[in-house]
């Protein structure tokens, strides 16, 4: 757990004088069933693929692995991009970008000397990345976010703060920076500060942003233990949800930002809420014993929810939220009290499909672009693709395995 820090009301976050308004260009070739690039409705992002994306999830660690030359490296970070079609890793030498389907390394950038990259945030499949230093010898100060334009192979801007950066989220028009107890929202074009949010201690940098054009939804911890704050910027509304009695460990937004899945530090239950009115729609049970939830992910249609934890099993749950009842604010509905809604052990629903993983590593999960498939990334460098039967459920079938830091180890 990171040490709590105090922050002034105004961070030292002025954009650097050499910031260049980014011209986003697709540098990654679209694969499989992914949609073609389309024009966006806001300049200068006319080259960004117009596929609204799922929730980003990430995790970090300092486990030693080996690179192609058998020299020890440290894998510091792994995360999906917003549509789960790519993923990025940060190492003590730089960063790499991979395609998920088909699996392949797309490119890498490695630096000389102190080069640890502790966070890499992609913007769909375009040339702009947000980078944060990490590891024993960070490439950048831990209180800075560097905006990298890979088309120009240079930094086009930076944001500096008075404390360490815990996370970064991107969308076409916004940059969101997460500190221990504050979140800052910037305009992408000129790095103008638009909004500040105070949170409870947030050492994991928990934050989720929607990718739907014209509608910006941001989810973060509230100011109380177990509380979630939902910002609906289009309607200028803020919704607070008392999701759990324990502290929040993980959450995820559905693609349309109508649903929110949350897990607490107990890790036994996952709750699904309506983001508009805060109502509790469903509760599913991962297991009976405590667990650290590493990631949650909705399928594209919000029919399924995937969960990964330190128990070494990925669970897939069937969701029963009625799309016709989600997306509107039932303001007359009472605020839910999750601790009393489903009190009995057997009243919550269990997963329909599972995939067993080697224990001892941390894993994040997302749904693949192929129907009924799940992609799992591990901080040991593992990449799994597996398939579940939506009717019979049970154990998933492993379709593919790679180790992206030891490519000779493949299924």
More confident residue, 40 or 284: 284
The per-residue DSSP string of 189-222 comes to TT--EEEEEE-S--TT---EE---TT--EEEEE-
Measured over all CA atoms, what is the biggest interatomic distance in the chain, rounded to whole angstroms? 63
Q: Does the CA dihedral 263-1-138-143 come out positive or negative?
A: positive
| Strand duo 313-318 + 349-350: pairing | unpaired
Residue 196 near residue 228, CB atoms below 8 Å: no
Q: Percentage of the chain surpassing pLDDT 90?
A: 65
d(CA 325, CA 43) in angstroms, rounded, equals: 34
Each residue of 117-148: pLDDT tens digit?
A: 999 999 999 899 999 999 999 999 999 999 99
Task: Tell me how far apart the alpha carbons of residues 268 and 138 are, in angstroms, rounded to a whole number.
Answer: 36
SS3 166: coil
pLDDT at 240: 98
CB 207 within 8 A of CB 183: yes
Which pairing describes strands 154-160 and 144-149: parallel, antiparallel, or unpaired? antiparallel
250-276: pLDDT as tens digits: 999 999 999 999 999 998 899 999 999
In sequence order, which residues have a C-beta less than 8 Å from that of residue 235 and are 6 or more positions away?
Answer: none
Q: What is the pLDDT of residue 375?
A: 98
Evaluate if residue 381 carries a pLDDT over 90: yes
With 70 as the cut, is the pLDDT of residue 245 above it? yes
Q: How distant, in Å, are the alpha carbons of 38, 80, 317, 402 from that of 59? A: 31, 10, 22, 19
pLDDT interval class at 6 (50, 70, 90): very low
Question: Per residue in 86-120, pLDDT tens?
Answer: 999 999 999 999 999 999 999 999 988 778 999 99
Nearest-angstrom CA–CA distance, 357 and 108 = 27
| CA–CA distances in Å: residue 222 to residues 182, 231, 235, 265 | 10, 11, 19, 15
Q: What whole-number distance in Å separates Cα of residue 342 and Cα of residue 282? A: 9
189 pLDDT more than 70: yes
What distance in Å separates the CA atoms of residue 385 and residue 376, rounded to the nearest whole number? Answer: 6
- Give, for 302, the enclosing helix (H) or strand (E): none
What is the pLDDT, as a whole number, of residue 114? 72
What phi, psi does 308 have (nearest 5°)? -120, 150
Tell me which residue of 387, 392, 373, 250 sits closest to 307, measured CA to CA.
250
CA-derived radius of gyration, the chain? 20
pLDDT in tens, 318-351: 998 755 456 555 443 434 444 444 444 445 689 9
Tell me the per-residue pLDDT of 134-183, one tens digit each, with 9 for 90 and over: 999 999 999 999 999 998 889 998 999 999 999 999 999 999 999 999 99
Mean pLDDT, rounded, of the chain: 81
Write the DSSP assignment of 317-367 as a string of letters: EE----GGGSSS--TTSPPP-HHHHS-SGGGSEEPSEEEE--TTS-EEEEE
Burial class (CB in 10 A: 0-12, 13-18, 19+), 260: buried
Are 19 and 128 spatial neighbours (Cβ–Cβ below 8 Å)? no
The reply to whether the predicted model has a pTM over 0.85 is no
Q: Sort strands 259-264 and 237-242 into parallel, antiparallel or unpaired.
A: unpaired
CB 174 within 8 A of CB 183: no
């Amino acid at each position: 757990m990171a040490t709590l820090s105090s922050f002034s009301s105004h961070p030292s976050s002025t954009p650097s004088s050499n910031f260049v308004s980014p011209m986003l260009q697709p540098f990654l070739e679209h694969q499989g069933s992914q949609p073609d690039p389309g024009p966006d409705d806001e300049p200068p992002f006319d080259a960004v693929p117009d596929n609204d994306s799922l929730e980003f999830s990430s995790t970090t660690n300092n486990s030693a692995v080996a690179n192609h030359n058998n020299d020890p490296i440290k894998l510091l970070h792994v995360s999906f991009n917003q549509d789960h079609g790519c993923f990025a890793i940060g190492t003590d030498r730089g960063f790499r970008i991979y395609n998920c389907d088909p699996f392949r390394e797309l490119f890498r950038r490695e630096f000389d000397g102190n080069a640890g990259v502790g966070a890499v945030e992609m913007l769909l499949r375009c040339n702009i990345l947000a980078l944060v230093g990490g590891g024993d010898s960070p490439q950048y100060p831990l209180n800075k976010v560097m905006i990298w334009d890979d088309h120009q192979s240079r930094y086009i801007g930076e944001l500096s703060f008075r404390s360490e950066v815990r996370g970064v989220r991107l969308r076409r028009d916004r940059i969101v920076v997460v500190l221990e107890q504050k979140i800052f929202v910037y305009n992408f074009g000129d790095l103008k500060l638009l909004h500040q949010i105070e949170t409870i201690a947030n050492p994991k940098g928990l934050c989720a942003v929607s990718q739907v054009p014209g509608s910006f939804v941001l989810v973060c911890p509230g100011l109380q233990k177990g509380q979630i704050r939902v910002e609906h910027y289009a309607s200028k509304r803020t919704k607070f949800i008392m999701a759990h009695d324990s502290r929040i460990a993980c959450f995820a937004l559905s693609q349309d930002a109508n649903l929110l899945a949350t897990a607490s530090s107990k890790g036994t239950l996952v709750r699904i809420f309506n983001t508009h009115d805060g109502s509790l729609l469903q509760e599913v049970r991962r297991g009976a014993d405590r667990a650290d939830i590493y990631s949650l992910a909705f399928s594209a249609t919000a029919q399924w929810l995937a969960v990964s934890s330190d128990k070494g099993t990925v669970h897939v749950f069937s969701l029963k939220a009625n799309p016709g009842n989600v997306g509107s604010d039932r303001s007359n509905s009472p605020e839910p009290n999750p601790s009393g809604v489903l009190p009995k052990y057997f009243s919550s629903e269990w997963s329909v499909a599972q995939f067993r993983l080697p224990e001892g590593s941390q894993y994040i999960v997302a749904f693949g672009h192929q129907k009924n498939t799940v992609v799992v990334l591990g901080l040991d460098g593992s990449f799994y693709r597996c398939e579940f039967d939506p009717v019979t459920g049970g154990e998933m079938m492993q379709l593919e395995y790679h180790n992206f830091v030891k490519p000779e180890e493949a299924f």
